[in-house]
Amino acid sequence: MRKHIALFIVLLCFQFIYTYGQESDCNKTKVGVYFIELGDLVINHLNTKYGEQSTQAWLDDIDARVIEVLQVNSPEIDFFSARNGKTSDPDYTFRYTLHLTAIDGEILVHADSVVYIQDFTGYEMTEYTDTEYEQETAFWMSSSLVVNSPCVPCLQWLIDINLSSDLELQGVIQKQSQKFWRLTNIIEAHENKRLAPAREPEMEISYDKPFISLLDEKSREMKVTVKVKNCKGQYVFYKGHSQPVYFEDELDRFKLESYKCLDPTHYKGHMVIIINKNLNANGIYKVIKGIEPLEQKISIGTCGISSQSEIYTEGKIIVKGLEIKVVPDKYQIYTDEIANIVVRFNEVNPNGNKEPISGRILDINIKGLVDGSISPKGNYNTNEKGEVHLRYKAGKKDKKIIITASYQPVNYPDVVSGSSYVNVMSNEYAWNGSFNIDVTKRFQCNVQEQASEIRHEEIRANDENTQRVNVTIGMNDFDLAVNPSIPGTRLISEASGEMHCMMNEDHFTATRAKKTECYNESGGEWEFSHIWVSPGNWSTKHETSSGQASRTIKKENINLLIVKDIELNKEAMQNLQKQMMEAAQSGDMAAVQTLKGQMVGMVQGDQNNNVIPIRIRIEILLDITKKDLITKTFERKSYNVCLKKNEEDSGSNTIEIPIAIPMGVEMKGTFTRGKDGSDIINASVDMTENTRGNFYSGKCPDATVKISGQINLERKRK
């Protein structure tokens, strides 16, 4: 009668299949041979039966025998010992254990029968006895063939499992090999029946439209379709346990939905979507906020056979932004004068190209209108050029009107808006006008990198800090034609305006380990005290800061300098200075005056020129001790695979720091002489410069600072 030593076998993803054959279209199959267990009883029996060796020597000996037999079984496969080839990555694992069992040997007592008459009944009875054997100690081997795959959900198919026993070590190994005959055919048949997971996977990505538009609900979503092929060119699908595709879903402006999947799995910042019977995995990305144009990069991945088969590629979704521009033909007018205003509504591509939006009704608000008039008074429907035309006539009591146009797409949280102004100038001052300045610092980062062989790092940032100034000024008279520069600060008689500031910062970091080394408390005598667990630890951190501020701008907050932009001939000027010194030394005062006039003429420029190039420096001075309220939020998540423990922490708080800070810009333009002293000064700036970001500056690109603005001054007409 057979007695077996207890055996515990861990089966991964319980499935059985019997198959055959292997083609040679793909890379050579690699099988890792794992010796799972060798106890003291087996070692003692081996030493008694074959001669004493160290435990390590027996481990090497048995492993070598198993690999040799398997290699004869299937020479097409590359077999290696997991004990000696720890850096190799197998496609399949052949796991085996070796124990002892008792089997029947020589017959001690043959089976027999005894006939007798039962006293009680008088019937003839027959009793039989079993054959008795000598019990012999034998080797008992259990082996399993398992797909090595990192896929989530689990696709580590258990292909086959077999048990064998024999009195001899080599005999039990040979019997196991025969039960897996031929291993290459078993693997090939499995891959033909179950195409998932894919061997050496490749992805094909397609989109249902070229771009996303924010205008309508349906146009705000993009269906991304992924097909996966194996190295034989077959598109992969298996009913019930199909190929997973990983769609990045931790995106600031998008919500990802799985087609017909109510509760999808999430893995490493991605949503897991399974390939369906149509050989597709479909992810639907919906824009949920923001009006700016965007070229959104998305990470898409899948997995296959072997631990390192997880692959990722970069997809791209184009989002057209919305833009409203309000453009008056005049920024300064006098009472009873007319300003024509054009409101333009466009879709904007990430590359800056614009397309007009027709047939949309805009919400237009006029602020500051007292006794002036504007037409039309309603039904602001954009024409075929995406424009709405307004006509403004300044009233006697009007000082400044602000035109704001906005549009909110249906069932969308954000509003696109644009505004501008028209100043109604007073005759109280010699010069009247206004200036506006816009300084916007944008910092965007989307970095994904392999920080080490086992550690992946992700950094994302989306910051925008804006300062906008709009000021109306009245100035005393000056004549730039006869002066090289005008210190305009002391000439400002009146100034009124505001600075508006907005701060928004959004920072996200994530680290994910392919595997983590954990302490193995249950490790046996021949196992290492630490084991690698895959996938490994991960952590994410998301922090935001936001705030806004406003300041009143008066004349004491403004420094203004107007300078002729004339390039002097330094050599000629130095020559005149030398001649003037020589004339002064000789007492020729007439020559001194003549030379002085020539020098003044060089500085003043051509007095007959009605258009003089100028540079204007504007500085806004503020009290930097005044602080503003900033709201900060944070959310941290992590998972420790060794402790199998999730940790989450989130919260918010407020701090006080100054958002509105001093600013200065330089504009270039012209001073234009008009008839009867009706002179005009126009200058502007529109430039972008790079500066270091304040978040992972060594890995993220520089921030951009866009500076724009204009100043318009007009001298009172006689």
- Tens of pLDDT along 69-78? 999 999 999 9
Q: What is the pLDDT of residues 591-643, one digit of tens each?
A: 777 777 666 665 655 556 688 888 999 999 999 899 999 999 999 999 998 88
pLDDT, position 262: 65
* Cα 470 to Cα 498: distance, rounded to the nearest angstrom: 6
**Percent of the chain residues topping a pLDDT of 70:** 89
Give residue 109's pLDDT band: very low, low, confident or very high (50, 70, 90).
low
- Residue 93 CA neighbour count, 13 Å, CB half: 22
Give residue 446's pLDDT band: very low, low, confident or very high (50, 70, 90).
confident
| Angle (deg, nearest 10), helices 40-50 and 55-73 | 80
Tokens of 688: 């972008």
pLDDT, position 163: 95
Average pLDDT, stretch 246-264?
Answer: 85
Q: What are the residues whose beta carbons fall under 8 Å from the beta carbon of 381, sequence distance 6 or more?
A: 359, 360, 361, 362, 388
Say which residue, 475 or 124, is predicted with more confidence: 475
Q: What are the residues whose beta carbons fall under 8 Å from the beta carbon of 368, sequence distance 6 or more?
A: 398, 399, 400, 401, 402
pLDDT, position 287: 97
Q: What is the pLDDT of residues 269-308, one digit of tens each?
A: 899 999 999 999 999 999 999 999 999 999 999 999 998 8
Q: What is the pLDDT of residues 42-77, one digit of tens each?
A: 999 999 999 999 999 999 999 999 999 999 999 999
Give residue 20's pLDDT band: very low, low, confident or very high (50, 70, 90).
very low
pLDDT, position 655: 92
Q: 718 pLDDT exceeds 90?
A: no
Q: What are the residues whose beta carbons fall under 8 Å from the beta carbon of 10, sequence distance 6 or more?
A: none
* Cα 273 to Cα 262: distance, rounded to the nearest angstrom: 11
Average pLDDT, stretch 165-184?
Answer: 94
Give residue 23's pLDDT band: very low, low, confident or very high (50, 70, 90).
very low
φ and ψ of 575, to 5 deg: -65, -40
**Percent of the chain residues topping a pLDDT of 90:** 59
Give residue 391's pLDDT band: very low, low, confident or very high (50, 70, 90).
very high
pLDDT, position 138: 93
Q: 1 pLDDT exceeds 80?
A: no
**Within 10 A of 427 (CB to CB), how many other CB atoms are there?**
11
Give residue 579's pLDDT band: very low, low, confident or very high (50, 70, 90).
confident
Q: What is the pLDDT of residues 640-665, one digit of tens each?
A: 988 888 899 999 999 999 999 999 99
pLDDT, position 15: 34
pLDDT, position 90: 94
Q: 322 pLDDT exceeds 90?
A: yes
**Cα-Cα end-to-end distance for the chain:** 127
Q: 572 pLDDT exceeds 70?
A: no
Element housing 549 (H / E): strand 538-554
pLDDT, position 46: 95
Say which residue, 83 or 77, is predicted with more confidence: 77
pLDDT, position 603: 60
Q: 354 pLDDT exceeds 60?
A: yes
Give the least confident one: 205-214, 255-264, 434-443, 611-620.
255-264
Say which residue, 614 or 363, is predicted with more confidence: 363
Give the least confident one: 38-47, 384-393, 477-486, 690-699.
477-486
Pairing of strands 332-333, 416-424: parallel
pLDDT, position 292: 92
Strand partners, 628: 657
Per the prediction, the chain carries an average pLDDT of: 87
Q: How far is CA 3 from the centre of its chain?
A: 60
Give residue 223's pLDDT band: very low, low, confident or very high (50, 70, 90).
very high
Helices and strands of the chain, counted as H and E runs: 6, 40
Say which residue, 183 or 429, is predicted with more confidence: 183
Q: What is the pLDDT of residues 458-470, one digit of tens each?
A: 999 989 999 999 8
Q: What is the pLDDT of residues 145-174, one digit of tens each?
A: 999 999 999 999 999 999 999 999 999 999
